[in-house]
Amino acid sequence: MTETTNTWLQFLERHGARFDDAGRVEAFGETLPQGGLQRGFVAPLTDTGLIAATGDDAPVFLHNQLTNDVEHLGAQEARLAGYCSPKGRLLATFLMWQRDGAIMLQLPKQIQPAVQKRLQMFILRSKAKLNDVSGDWALLGLGGEGATAALAKWFPQPPASPYAKADSDAGSLIRLPDAFGHPRFQWSAPPAVAESAWPELIKTLSPAATSLWRLTDIHAGVPQVTLPTQEQFVPQMVNFELIGGVNFKKGCYPGQEIVARSQYLGKLKRRMLLASIDVDGVAPGTEVYWSGDPDQPCGMVVNAEHNPEGGTDCLVETKMTAIEEGTIRLGSATGSILRFAQLPYPLPA
């Protein structure tokens, strides 16, 4: 952990943050006020790692490794991208953007060292370097009705559409897909900027746990591959091509043939859906079971977070026949029933 990381975390701790064993902010001394999710909140994303890819060959190198177009990544946009095994299974999902001549790759901190090491193996003679810059930036997730106004001091014209980006001396601001009917932004700021901004932000926004931001990711239908779910999903199984994470016109990358075959040979039989359940403590990687074939799991929890209004909301990958023809339960054929809701984007018929 770098000195700047320590400084930022110590700052948050002085301002009431409590951390869990995974390094996520689990609370700010008091529960989120009623309606805080809709009115506006700011959450430190302390579970997130950043890799900076630099060098003349960095765009081409990453273009040949990831599921999306990196060579044509614009200066005022961010993109999703996946990193697959040779079998087409996702090892990681990234949010990527340009900053100061580098391509930034954002992923869960828990899988960053192994993913970075694996990518590093394939650089060979390319003029590219991968550096862990997690400590150089403080990441904040802002959402709700008041988020846009709260950011105006640093970003008078915040990006207006999903995955648009604005840069300033205060860092990079990325508009992300809406959740709960309100805009969401991710701000990557130098830690000193974040520390000076925090007292201003919490005048109008509720300080929130990292999990609240992850809950909004779930409601936006944006999956994140974590340690328990690595190599479990072809991108389409978690709707990754539907949210802009796969470019089918680009050249080869690890697993590309399998990803393409999944797209073009017949109807996809597995998809990711939004669900809720009346229990807490649901973990990614937990299998789900279908009443039509109770002895075999029909899918898996991709991401799950507690909802302040009660229970757990989750993204679940499953056979589509299980949704159409029966009941799906968590953990076993006799587990708690999952209730499914509509995603914010349509699934192909």
Asked whether residue 290 falls in the same domain as residue 144, the answer is no
Global pTM value: 0.96
In the sheet with 90-99, reading across from the earlier edge strand, the strands are: 78-84, 90-99, 102-108, 48-54, 129-132
Residue where a domain terminates, one of 219, 247, 265: 219
Look at residue 266 and tell me whether its pLDDT is greater than 80: no
Q: Tell me the per-residue pLDDT of 110-152, one tens digit each, with 9 for 90 and over.
A: 999 999 999 999 999 999 999 999 999 999 999 999 999 999 9
What letter does residue 332 receive in the DSSP assignment? S
Burial class (CB within 10 angstroms; exposed 0-12, middle 13-18, buried 19+) of 251: exposed
Asked whether residue 9 falls in the same domain as residue 151, the answer is yes
Asked whether residue 54 falls in the same domain as residue 157, the answer is yes
- Between CA 304 and CA 218 the distance in angstroms is 7
Q: What is the DSSP string of 67-91?
A: SS--TT--TTBEEEEEEE-TTS-EE
Report the number of distinct structural domains present in the chain. Answer: 2
**In the Cβ-directed half-sphere of 73, how many Cα atoms lie within 13 Å?**
29
Asked whether residue 237 falls in the same domain as residue 196, the answer is no
Q: Which range of residues forms the domain containing residue 153?
A: 3-219
**In the Cβ-directed half-sphere of 323, how many Cα atoms lie within 13 Å?**
17
Give domain status of residue 347, yes or no: no
Asked whether residue 19 falls in the same domain as residue 119, the answer is yes
Asked whether residue 19 falls in the same domain as residue 113, the answer is yes
Res 2: pLDDT: 57
Look at residue 44 and tell me whether its pLDDT is greater than 80: yes
Asked whether residue 307 falls in the same domain as residue 167, the answer is no
CATH code, 254: 2.40.30.160
- Between CA 277 and CA 51 the distance in angstroms is 35
Give domain status of residue 30, yes or no: yes
Give domain status of residue 346, yes or no: no
Asked whether residue 215 falls in the same domain as residue 240, the answer is no
Q: Tell me the per-residue pLDDT of 248-263, one tens digit each, with 9 for 90 and over.
A: 998 899 999 999 998 8
Q: Tell me the two tokens of residue 225.
A: 């591959």
Asked whether residue 177 falls in the same domain as residue 294, the answer is no
Residue where a domain terminates, one of 219, 248, 273: 219
Residue where a domain terminates, one of 165, 192, 219: 219
Give the closest residue to 107 by CA, choosing from 54, 177, 66, 50. 50
Asked whether residue 210 falls in the same domain as residue 147, the answer is yes
Intra-chain end-to-end CA distance of the chain, in Å: 47
154, 146 contact by CB (below 8 A): no
Lowest mean pLDDT among 44-58, 82-96, 181-195, 250-264: 250-264
Q: Tell me the per-residue pLDDT of 187-210, one tens digit each, with 9 for 90 and over.
A: 999 999 999 999 999 999 999 999
- Between CA 83 and CA 106 the distance in angstroms is 12
- Between CA 150 and CA 132 the distance in angstroms is 30
Asked whether residue 104 falls in the same domain as residue 195, the answer is yes
- Between CA 180 and CA 215 the distance in angstroms is 10
- Between CA 103 and CA 181 the distance in angstroms is 31
Residues in the chain, overall count: 349
Give domain status of residue 348, yes or no: no
Give domain status of residue 210, yes or no: yes
Asked whether residue 284 falls in the same domain as residue 210, the answer is no
Give domain status of residue 349, yes or no: no
Question: Which pairing describes strands 165-168 and 171-179: parallel, antiparallel, or unpaired?
Answer: antiparallel
Give domain status of residue 212, yes or no: yes
E strand spans, the chain: 18-19, 25-27, 41-44, 48-54, 78-84, 90-99, 102-108, 129-132, 138-143, 165-168, 171-179, 182-189, 206-207, 270-277, 287-290, 297-306, 312-319, 328-330, 339-341
Q: Tell me the per-residue pLDDT of 284-304, one tens digit each, with 9 for 90 and over.
A: 999 999 999 999 999 999 999
Give domain status of residue 58, yes or no: yes
CATH code, 52: 3.30.1360.120
The owner of tokens 């869990």 is 20
209, 26 contact by CB (below 8 A): yes
